Chain A
């Protein structure tokens, strides 16, 4: 075991999990858990960033648990279908969910009806990674930083549009938050995923976009797109030269996160076993390397910390969604 890539929270989490396991004693469910394959439901299409994170982790978790953790993509309704499937699955730890900021904070706020309650209908397992978003522009746009972009938007209101990977996504909300905090106008143009939106951005059909950092990082490195700022509070370790939006608009912060959830009522020792496996996988140097290339920050947590995180995220997004008047059916 290497301590190099263990974050402090991760170490704590692993320690906590170990303690819970010892406290639970041996003749428990966890002793024979898992005795068959575990299904990790990914509520988005294969190939996306959540899917990639899931597959990297599932691989490592399988090694630790001694049973295959297989990824099942149940895409649909912005992640709600997959999340709902897990919320209603047997609480035995054999069906778990790769939840995100969308399934556990944004969708319930934006959609008129969500079939589950993100706080009550899940047993938190562990927070996994944070992924920064980024404000990118076509290099032909005469704005070298956020301040210049704001000046441009104020000089010609209604001229510029921004692209995002879809309506009600964390990226759309990052854009809306940007607009409301800076007091500028930009038309939102939703696409079906990052790919087509990036294509139009590269062709300068649209000149501004909010994207996941991993999906545009190749273009930022090659200079085909210009990153004006990342959306996290701190600069991204993979792009230390790119400033944050908060440096120009104080208090601005958005990011995407991934976390594991089990159905409600999953026994604590099973949760602890899964938590330990997840945090062990996160601490693996190879995983750390992948995640870094992917621009994701490894977090890791205890189940309780994840529960608190979900509460905090919902509290944070409620006023933003209300003010931006985003309400989808």
Chain B
């Protein structure tokens, strides 16, 4: 037993909620609050944001009373490759078009796992692209351009 019982996960959790509450309080204050009888756009969010911050305080206080589990490993590599995938798709789908853009993001996402080897990743990306083009573009007829202006000669 450690001398100071303290759940770092919950302490952080409380702090996160206080921070989020603070953000929404700050943003709400820029809106018209109105009165309880004639609520403005800021009234309801302000009340909610204050509740959120208060709940954060409760969590923070409670965290000092019990010992928590360890935080565990963090998926840094996963975040580095998974999170950019939809962003890259968003940035390129109009310019490159559906097919190249999809291939690109499948390739990026494939590298999120340390077990993925490069040739395998290319094969998977090609397979995903082929399947998606057949199913989404041809069969379901989603209104996407297959090749965008950046690659049209």
Contacts and interface: CB of A to CB of B under 8 A. Distances in A.
Query: Are A and B close enough to touch in the complex, i.e. CB under 8 Å?
Result: yes
B143 A70 contact: yes
Contacts of B143: 39, 70-72
Nearest to A36: B145
B141 A90 contact: no
A142 to B, nearest CB: 29
User: How many residues of A sit at the interface, in one of the four size bands?
Assistant: under 10
B139 to A, nearest CB: 14
- SS class of chain A's interface: helix, strand, loop or mixed? strand
Interface string A68-88: 001110000000000000000
Interface string B113-153: 00000000000000000000000000001010100010000
Interface in A73-108: 90
A39 B149 CA distance: 14
A70 B145 CA distance: 11
Among B143, B145, B149: residue with most chain A CB under 10 A = B143
7 contacts: A39-B143, A39-B145, A70-B141, A70-B143, A71-B143, A72-B143, A90-B149
Contacts of A39: 143, 145
Contacts of A72: 143
A90 B143 CA distance: 17
Contacts of A70: 141, 143
Contacts of B149: 90
Contacts of B141: 70
A70 B146 CA distance: 14
Nearest to A39: B143
Interface in A12-53: 39
A256 B116 CA distance: 56
Nearest to A71: B143
Nearest to A40: B143
Nearest to B141: A70
A322 to B, nearest CB: 21
A267 to B, nearest CB: 17
B37 to A, nearest CB: 13
Nearest to B145: A39
A11 to B, nearest CB: 32
A90 B145 CA distance: 13
Interface string A281-308: 0000000000000000000000000000
A72 B149 CA distance: 18
A71 B145 CA distance: 13
A51 to B, nearest CB: 13
Nearest to A73: B143
Nearest to B149: A90
A245 B143 CA distance: 42
Contacts of B145: 39
